Amino acid sequence: MENSITKTRQQKIDKLVWLEIKNGADLLGAITAYCLKNNIQAGLIFAIGALKKAKLSFYDQTKKKYLALSVNRPLEILAGLGNVSLKGGRPFVHLHLTASDKAGRVYGGHLAQGSIVFACESAIMRASGQPLNRRFDKLTGLNLWDWG
Ligand code: ZN
């Protein structure tokens, strides 16, 4: 059987940081600012809570560009899951979000700037050791992990 996993890296989780993100903050901006200020270069990110509005995006694999999706009403953050690695030598947060409206309709996508927090409980599991760097990947058009 073909091996579909071509690369792995094992690291220890050296710290769990709980984050409360204030009402009115930009979700992606707040987490990114925390990682930059505290030099968190590698780890897993989790978030639950509620948004006043969301800006998400969907990557069009043919056009190789992000298509924007705005949801301009209150939403529950059912699951925010992502990671932090390095891009251009700086901590870069990549977070995906699943969120529901009052009718239970679910929206999801790649979190963009402009998603405004109503209340948010987040956590970062920081990994120790060599962080992964992102590098442009021609096949996908995305900045993917460079294992070099
Ligand atoms: Zn994404």
C-alpha count within 13 angstroms, C-beta hemisphere, residue 130: 10
Q: pTM of the prediction?
A: 0.95
CA 8 to ligand 1 center in whole angstroms: 20
CA dihedral sign of residues 27, 33, 34, 35: positive
User: Would the pLDDT of 148 be above 90?
Assistant: no
pLDDT tens for 123-135 read 999 999 999 999 9
pLDDT tens for 22-71 read 999 999 999 999 999 999 999 999 999 999 999 999 999 999 999 999 99
DSSP letter at 30 equals: H
Measure the CA–CA gap between 135 and 146, rounded to whole angstroms.
Answer: 6
Q: How many CB atoms lie under 10 A from the CB of residue 84?
A: 27
CA 96 to ligand 1 center in whole angstroms: 6
CA 60 to ligand 1 center in whole angstroms: 11
CA 101 to ligand 1 center in whole angstroms: 21
pLDDT tens for 82-119 read 999 999 999 999 999 999 999 999 999 999 999 999 99
CA 95 to ligand 1 center in whole angstroms: 6
User: Would the pLDDT of 1 be above 70?
Assistant: no
Closest CA to 17 of 47, 53, 55, 56: 47
